[in-house]
């Protein structure tokens, strides 16, 4: 029987899933950046607590994954003990999910503050630094090979981002979006009004300022803050976020695919991850005296508007899409697909956020994208990664068009790779 598709691998179910994942991730990633900007007030700050957005998003993801986990357990006739809480030993094993959960908690919190300092277009362009951190961690943690051309493209990427950072001037600074701010959903109660007024008085009181100045080491902290401001707080936060994001995704991919976890349901795995996500965000609201007071007197939805609630839904959906990408694709697919988000956000910034790029931006931004293209087009052969991808295809029910039905898939998965590259071609 002749196939109607000239290139069967492109018409396979795996390719369709990959395309859907990529389109979903790009759409949600772009929407999140736009909503982060729209949900801010006229002073380019947030009337709501950023941790409340992340807490609600984590709760939505946890609820969804728990429902899907129960469905998987019932369908496969398994026990609820598979969720990892049946014994103290299984609970201790589940604690490994606390590491990526804490890193994701930091990542999702820092992005709010980055957007108050940088234009969305500049933020997404500088965030390409995550490719460099991810590539290094790929080599160190996952032992993935990189060709010399890829290392050279990473150096070019780093130099282009540094040059863009120092040469774009005031066009990097974030400004409020005029006329696009939504009013809060609810009117604050008398208790909330009194508490917020008390907070303002405490912040503006000279006594509080003189008390903090007398604290031990306060002069040293003031000097450090001054140095960070001279470097650019937005850039420092963005570099920190890139490293944290790369660490979170690398570690998450590792535990999603190591050993028998490769065949485990992604919903059961993510249920454990999101439990810790809810805990960390709840602790942020509970341990901070200001956040705790606002939550008690004003409620969890204090200061929220239509844009921030939409941001909750988009953040939850984006987190799920990243989990599917890490499970069924890999980290480099995640960060390279994000380059489409860079182009889209830059285009939207020209029309929505009054972004006026300088000549340096038009000269250096293509260098960033070109270096990423060269990196992606120069992948070294990695036998272990190829074997893992083939296993995922078989697990997901993908049928090779070339198979004769006589066990060729199993032979492929167990065959030793003899075409490994030499040390001169990859590192």
B/e letters for 179-189, b = 16+ CB within 10 Å, e = fewer, are eebeebeeebe
Summarised one tens digit per residue, pLDDT across range 225-277 is 555 554 567 778 888 888 898 889 888 888 888 877 777 888 988 999 999 99
The span from the CA of 13 to the CA of 189, in Å, is 54
Q: Can you give the pLDDT at residue 421?
A: 44
Summarised one tens digit per residue, pLDDT across range 161-204 is 777 665 554 445 555 555 555 677 777 777 888 878 787 777 66
Q: Are 238 and 118 in contact (CB under 8 A)?
A: yes
pTM: 0.76
Structure confidence at residue 116 as a pLDDT band (50, 70, 90): confident
Q: Can you give the pLDDT at residue 110?
A: 92
Token representation of residue 40: 């801010």
Q: Of 7-21, 145-159, 377-391, where does mean pLDDT reach its minimum?
A: 377-391
Averaged pLDDT, 358-385: 69
Q: Can you give the pLDDT at residue 425?
A: 45
Averaged pLDDT, 101-129: 86
Torsion, CA 107, CA 112, CA 117, CA 122, rounded to 10: 60
Q: Can you give the pLDDT at residue 134?
A: 78
Cα distance between the two ends of the chain: 44
DSSP 401: T
Distances (CA, A) of 146 to 135, 326, 374, 379, 425: 8, 19, 12, 7, 9
DSSP 417: P
Q: Can you give the pLDDT at residue 56?
A: 95
Which is more confident, 14 or 416? 14
Residue 206, pLDDT > 70, answer no
Question: Rounded to 5 degrees, what are φ and ψ at 330?
Answer: -160, 180
The span from the CA of 309 to the CA of 315, in Å, is 10
Q: Are 367 and 167 in contact (CB under 8 A)?
A: no
The span from the CA of 47 to the CA of 303, in Å, is 5
The span from the CA of 22 to the CA of 337, in Å, is 6
Contacts of 124 (CB under 8 A, 6+ apart): 33, 338, 341, 342, 345, 346
Q: Can you give the pLDDT at residue 406?
A: 39
DSSP 127: T
The span from the CA of 130 to the CA of 132, in Å, is 5
Summarised one tens digit per residue, pLDDT across range 131-164 is 778 778 777 776 777 778 877 877 887 777 777 6
Q: Can you give the pLDDT at residue 52?
A: 93
Q: Can you give the pLDDT at residue 308?
A: 92
Q: Can you give the pLDDT at residue 387?
A: 57
Which is more confident, 4 or 112? 112
Q: Are 32 and 26 in contact (CB under 8 A)?
A: no
CB atoms within 10 A of CB 334: 22
Token representation of residue 122: 């500049």
Q: Can you give the pLDDT at residue 169?
A: 47
Q: Can you give the pLDDT at residue 205?
A: 67
Q: Are 139 and 146 in contact (CB under 8 A)?
A: yes
Summarised one tens digit per residue, pLDDT across range 331-359 is 777 777 777 787 788 788 777 777 777 77
The span from the CA of 424 to the CA of 427, in Å, is 8
When the pLDDT of each residue in the chain is averaged and rounded to a whole number, the result is 75
Distances (CA, A) of 176 to 36, 84, 298, 359: 11, 46, 25, 23
Summarised one tens digit per residue, pLDDT across range 396-406 is 554 333 333 33
Which is more confident, 422 or 304? 304
The span from the CA of 313 to the CA of 60, in Å, is 8
Structure confidence at residue 54 as a pLDDT band (50, 70, 90): very high
Which residue matches tokens 């007197």?
A: 297
């Amino acid at each position: 029987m002749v196939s109607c598709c000239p290139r069967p691998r492109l018409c396979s179910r795996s390719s369709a899933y990959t395309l859907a994942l990529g389109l979903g991730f790009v759409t949600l990633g772009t929407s999140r950046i736009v909503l982060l900007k729209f949900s801010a007030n006229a002073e380019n700050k947030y009337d709501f607590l950023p941790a409340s957005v992340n807490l609600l998003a984590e709760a939505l993801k946890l609820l969804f994954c728990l429902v899907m986990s129960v469905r998987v357990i019932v369908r496969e006739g398994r026990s609820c003990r598979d969720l990892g809480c049946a014994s103290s030993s299984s609970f201790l094993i589940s604690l490994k999910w606390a590491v990526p959960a804490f890193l994701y908690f930091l990542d999702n919190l820092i992005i709010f503050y980055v957007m108050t300092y940088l234009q969305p277009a500049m933020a997404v362009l500088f965030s390409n630094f995550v490719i460099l951190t991810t590539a290094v961690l790929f080599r160190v943690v996952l032992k993935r090979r990189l060709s010399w051309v890829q290392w050279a493209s990473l150096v070019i990427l780093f130099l282009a981002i540094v040059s863009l950072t120092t040469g774009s001037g005031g066009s990097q600074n974030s400004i409020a979006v005029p006329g696009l701010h939504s009013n809060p959903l609810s009117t604050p109660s008398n208790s909330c009004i009194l508490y917020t007024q008390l907070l303002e008085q405490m912040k503006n009181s000279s006594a509080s300022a003189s008390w903090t100045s007398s604290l031990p080491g306060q002069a040293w902290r003031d000097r450090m803050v001054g140095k960070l401001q001279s470097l650019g707080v937005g850039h420092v936060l963005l570099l920190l976020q890139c490293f944290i994001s790369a660490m979170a995704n690398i570690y998450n991919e590792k535990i999603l695919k190591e050993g028998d976890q490769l065949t485990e349901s992604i919903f059961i795995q993510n249920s454990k991850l999101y439990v810790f996500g809810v805990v960390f965000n709840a602790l942020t609201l509970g341990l901070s005296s200001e956040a705790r007071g606002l939550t008690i007197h004003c409620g969890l939805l204090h200061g929220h508007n239509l844009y921030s609630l939409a941001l909750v839904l988009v953040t939850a959906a984006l987190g799920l899409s990243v989990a599917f990408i890490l499970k069924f694709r890999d980290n480099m697919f995640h960060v390279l697909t994000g380059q489409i988000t860079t182009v889209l956000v830059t285009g939207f910034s020209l029309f929505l956020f009054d972004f006026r790029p300088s000549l340096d931006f038009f000269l250096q931004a293509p260098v960033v994208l070109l270096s990423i293209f060269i990196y992606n087009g120069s992948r070294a052969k990695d036998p272990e990664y190829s074997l893992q991808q083939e296993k995922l295809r078989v697990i997901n029910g993908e049928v090779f068009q070339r198979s004769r039905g006589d066990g060729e898939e199993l032979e492929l998965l167990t065959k030793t790779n003899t075409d490994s590259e030499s040390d001169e071609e990859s590192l």
